[in-house]
Amino acid sequence: MRKLLLILFTLLTEIVWAEGEVSPAVVCTIKGVVLDENGAPLPGASVWVKGSTIGAGTNTQGEFLLKLRSSGEQVLRFSFTGYKPQEFVWNGQEGESLVIRLEPAQNSLEEVVVTGTRTPKPLKEVPVLTQVISQDAIQQINPLDFQTLLEFALPGLQFGQAHGSNLPELSFQGAAGGYVLFLVDGERMAGEGASNNIDYERIDVDNIERIEVIKGPMSTLYGSQAMGGVVNIITKDADRPFTADLTARLGNKDEMKYSASLGTKLSRFSSYTTFSYRRRDAYKIEDREGAVTEIHKPDTVILDTADKSSTTVLGYDIWQIGQKLGYALTDNLKAEISGNYYHNKLQDPFAGKKEQEVYSTFTLNPRLSYTLGKKHLLTLSWWFDDYVKKREYTTGISADKEFEDASHTIRLHYSGEMGEKHILTAGLEVNTQRLQHYWFDDGSGAKFDQQNYVLYLQEDWKMTERFNVVLGLRSDCHSEYGMHTSPKVSLMYRLGDFTLRGGYGMGFRIPTLKELHAEYNMGGLGVFMIYGNSDLKPEISHQGTFSVEYTKGVFNGSVSRYYTKYKNAIGLGLTEDGENQQYYNAEDSKKSGVDVMGQVRLESGLTFNGAYSYVNCHEKTDGYNTSVFRPHSLTFTTNYSHKIGKVRISAAVNGRWLSKVDVWNKNSEGNYVLNAYASYTSVDLNLGARFPRGIRFTLGLDNVLNIQSKNVSADSAVLPQRGIEVIGTLGIHLADLFKW
């Protein structure tokens, strides 16, 4: 891998040298101002010279300045969230100040996304149905953590608590967290919170620009684990010549968060620094009633009422710092580097005062981008993610490292337009992982590693103005499993105000190193062992999708249907002797479902977003449902915004509902046992005000209806609620405060 890195960086160094030889100093400048529909300045608007690496943000007065080393005609692209992008052809008019006036967008379909095709495209032109959680939507939800944000924004998603660890555990469209790939700025996250789940606390919601969600298999572009979907978290960058922001959030139930950011975005240089600290104490929630279980015997039904119990929600003590730097070496070559450090002392009342679990992560991502002509982009990047779990002691004993996941990804990526109808995407990747896990060799510190070599190709063919086809193919060569090929085809057809999308995709998931090599004494009590299985086969999925989207004026809505067939699904079950557990490949399974989404934006300032999801897990024994996943879910957000004088006030109601579910299993006597889990409802209210000079305040009421489950300890498939929580958030944007 080091040799490959050396060769690739040597090639790009030669390109840099060649560019430096032929690129003179700055020969022209472009300046101007970007205004809204009323003629007011738009601070933070983006200005980009198409076909180059040069771009800038507007200041508080909406002004921008670009410095180029090449003269001649340039195409400038102007964009701002909530407005239609606009292009302007500049013909070298030195000294002239441009005035650009942007128009509001009626819906979000003009927003540019990257995840579905690995190339920037307006949302309305992406053949893969993509859901975007914008920064405005995040502010309306006003969540403390990433889990809360996703729960209110994505129907068909449920967070529960993992048995044993009490850490957050994800289910998405009936699939476990290990089937969903989480990316940060397009790069795969390493590490493990709950089993086969990432550490969701790593993601700071105050540093999210937007989230792009693709449901269904995306293995053709993103490889193993992208069987059930991809969630790509796009983090913030500097958007002005000077930007600085301070935020404080306090809750009445032992919750606090403080964050700060500082950045600059000039035509050739950019920098963005972030820092956050957040803390929440662990807490217990008691059952109000004992859970009732029905035991169905051939001739009678017996009701068994359990004693009241409790469940614990773990707390955290987190600080996090991130840095992004970028510099355009020439008009066509840009170097960037970003890094992040995360440190979390888990607040666990079970651990006692003498020991504490500590999670930490260090990431590093250098990147070189080179534009060839106006329509071709070549990118070389390296992603390093080192995730560590330690158990620290207060008795003077040094910390024990229980877990370390060190992952590297080197990628050479190309995207370019071939004529007017073809966009080609191609890439080479090298992925490596070295894992130390406390499940290996009963916690002795053993390590295992794996490597994967990848080639992917994608053709985006605009056959007509109405019809678009995307064909993709990926070839993985894995150190344990050899070659694997994943195809994908997506189709899009526009018919008036309707957009039809359909496609087929193959997903795959390589068994994890833990599933292959586990040898763990569960609980350390010698009760039973958990063993890996070196004979495991990769999981394969086949999914077909079809969706209809309708857009008319201020309304946008869609209905989508999917069906997925799984082969060699990996499960954990009893060994033949019935005394221990081992990973195994299960029989074929399937899942299907329907998603319905709608959005209305009225000129009065009222916005409504609603989504419904139905999931059929097809998990039945003798006709009885055995899945704990709630089949029906609904999310909605209603937001009203209005300006009174110089103050903009807003009110947002966010709601979430999960249906009840009856779960059956067989006991040792062969009788069917019913556990009935009640429906789940949560509603939040946020009242906000934006004052002049960049000051904003939000008062939030979480669980405003004060709905609490009767049997919180019996239902680990959802996170428990603990009554009404009052949260105040104060933010100050220093650039607006001082009019910089």
User: What confidence tens digit (pLDDT) does each residue in 526-577 have?
Assistant: 678 899 999 999 999 999 999 999 999 889 999 999 999 999 988 888 888 8
Structure tokens at 466: 């109405």
Structure tokens at 21: 């030889």
End-to-end CA separation in angstroms for the chain? 46
- Between 105 and 23, name the one with better pLDDT: 105
Task: Count the neighbouring beta carbons within 10 Å of the beta carbon of residue 396.
Answer: 5
Q: Average the pLDDT over each of 24-28, 379-383, 568-572 and give the range with the smallest value.
A: 24-28
Whole-number Å distance between alpha carbons of 622 and 624: 6
Which element (helix H / strand E) includes 84? Answer: none
Mean pLDDT across the chain: 88
Q: Which residue has the tokens 């795969």?
A: 188
- Between 104 and 516, name the one with better pLDDT: 516
- Between 740 and 465, name the one with better pLDDT: 465
pLDDT in tens, 385-421: 999 999 887 766 666 788 999 999 999 999 999 888 9
For the entire predicted model, the pTM comes to: 0.91
Q: Which residue has the tokens 């070189």?
A: 368
Whole-number Å distance between alpha carbons of 176 and 198: 12
| pLDDT value at 4 more than 50 | no
pLDDT in tens, 704-724: 999 888 888 888 778 888 889
User: pLDDT grade, residue 10 (50/70/90)?
Assistant: very low
- At residue 675, the 3 state secondary structure works out as strand
User: pLDDT grade, residue 618 (50/70/90)?
Assistant: confident
Plot region of 138 (φ>0 → left; ψ -120 to 50 → alpha; else → beta): alpha
User: pLDDT grade, residue 8 (50/70/90)?
Assistant: very low
Q: Average the pLDDT over each of 62-66, 274-278, 409-413, 728-732 and give the range with the smallest value.
A: 62-66
Q: Average the pLDDT over each of 18-22, 169-173, 364-368, 450-454 and give the range with the smallest value.
A: 18-22
**Mean pLDDT along residues 150-154:** 87
Residue 553: closest CA among 119, 107, 136: 107
Whole-number Å distance between alpha carbons of 630 and 677: 9
User: What is the DSSP pairing of strand 400-418 with strand 422-436?
Assistant: antiparallel
Task: For the domain covering 2-105, report its CATH number.
Answer: 2.60.40.1120
CA 439 to chain centre: 28
Question: Architecture of 110-737 per CATH?
Answer: Beta Barrel (2.40)
Whole-number Å distance between alpha carbons of 249 and 55: 33
**Mean pLDDT along residues 331-335:** 92
CA 617 to chain centre: 23
User: pLDDT grade, residue 179 (50/70/90)?
Assistant: confident
Whole-number Å distance between alpha carbons of 246 and 273: 12
pLDDT value of position 299: 86
Which element (helix H / strand E) includes 9? Answer: helix 2-22
Q: Average the pLDDT over each of 206-210, 261-265, 273-277, 307-311 and give the range with the smallest value.
A: 307-311
| pLDDT value at 92 more than 80 | no
Domain spans of the chain? 2-105, 110-737
Find residue 286's DSSP bridge partners: 310
- HEC per residue, 108-139: HHHCEECCCCCCCEEHHHCCCCEEEECHHHHH
Under 8 Å between Cβ of 677 and 639: no
| pLDDT value at 326 more than 90 | yes
pLDDT value of position 395: 67
In angstroms, the Cα distances linking 489 to 160, 220, 224, 424, 542 are 34, 10, 18, 14, 12
pLDDT value of position 19: 45
Residue 141 CB-density burial (10 A; 0-12 exposed, 13-18 middle, 19+ buried): buried
Q: Average the pLDDT over each of 16-20, 190-194, 593-597 and give the range with the smallest value.
A: 16-20
